Amino acid sequence: MKDLTSVYMPDPSELYRPIVNEEGVTGKSKDEFRQYEENSSNDWLGVVQRTYYTMHTNQTVDFVKSMREKYGMLNHSKLTVMEALEELNKVVDESDPDVAIPNIYHAFQTAERIRAAHPDLGWFHLVGLIHDLGKILAVFGEPQWAVVGDTYPVGCAPAPSVVFGRRSFIDCPDMPQYYPLNDSSLEGELLGVYSPHCGLDDVLMSYGHDEYMYNVLVGNGCTLPEEGLRMVRYHSFYPWHTGKDYSYLTNDKDDTMLPWVHEFNQFDLYSKGDDLPDIEEVKPYYEELINTYCPGILRF
């Protein structure tokens, strides 16, 4: 494994997500968080825009297939879950102005919030702990546009709710084949290489930490239930679970799992203001969960 003291890996999408609590949205409205052009003179928002434009240019069908092949062998490292969490501490997320703590604290914050709300669902607690472990891709040297940020299907037209919209795909080599620039709602012009309601299992998603960690869990025979695997695989797929787009690709299985993804995301995104957990105090509980669902040394 590449030995790095720290990896600066901004997650640009964090800037545009409202603060939400159990009573609903507080602070800015959703619309206010989607006014990208008005903020384009801001230096950091310029970085965010370039990040997404780079992502939307380079995340082609061929690129996604190549990344699935590159990391599908799970031959880049061998680690226990706890060792992987320690590796994730090398990743510094400089995009989040509200959190100046190592990633391992966010992992335990998320897990502990889930544990408090769903005390009898141990597998759910573990999902909270490991959902971002795929960001270890940055430690392997991958650029942040191939690790973080909102995900979306490649090989079909981007939905309106994709960050920065269809205009950000203007330089994508797949554009002429898959990405009509008009706003047509005709299903046949949106599907690209897919069949109607083929299901997300048969859709190529832009590559990042979600897809990679899902592959790690499945490839190592981890025994999390399907609901947990879906949370890991699609928690960054905001155009679907929040934007309510891509319904023409989803099937009944996806619709059944969507409430679980929603349930997870409230704990993931909005745990950052919580008190920091005492990791050493709660670690034995999570080690027991790891031994149940993801035991031993995993291939990454």
Q: CA–CA distance from 229 to each of 2, 144, 151, 256 (Å)? A: 27, 23, 16, 14
Dihedral sign computed on CA atoms, order 31, 37, 42, 45: positive
Q: How far apart are CA 98 and CA 85, in angstroms?
A: 21
Mean predicted confidence (pLDDT) in 73-93: 88
Per-residue pLDDT at 7: 47
Mean predicted confidence (pLDDT) in 112-127: 97
Given a cut of 80, whether residue 128 has pLDDT beyond it is yes
Per-residue pLDDT at 3: 47
Of 293, 295, 239, 7, give the one whose Cα is nearest residue 128: 293
Helix (H, G, I), strand (E, B) or coil at 155: coil
Mean confidence (pLDDT) of the chain: 82
Q: How far apart are CA 133 and CA 89, in angstroms?
A: 10
Q: How far apart are CA 151 and CA 260, in angstroms?
A: 18
Per-residue pLDDT at 8: 47
162 secondary structure, DSSP code: S
β-pair type (91-92, 78-79): unpaired
Residue that is written with structure tokens 């928690």 in the block: 235
Q: How many CB atoms lie within 10 A of CB 99?
A: 16
Interaxial angle between packed helices 209-219 and 226-234, expressed in degrees from 0 to 180 and rounded to the nearest 10: 150
Q: How far apart are CA 51 and CA 93, in angstroms?
A: 14
Per-residue pLDDT at 41: 59
276 Rama class: left (phi>0) / alpha (psi -120 to 50) / beta: beta
Question: Given pLDDT bands bounded at 50, 70 and 90, which one contains residue 73?
Answer: very high
Helix (H, G, I), strand (E, B) or coil at 214: helix
The pTM of the full predicted model, rounded to 2 decimals, is: 0.84
Given a cut of 50, whether residue 176 has pLDDT beyond it is yes
Q: How far apart are CA 154 and CA 174, in angstroms?
A: 9
pLDDT tens digits for 90-108? 775 433 333 445 678 889 9
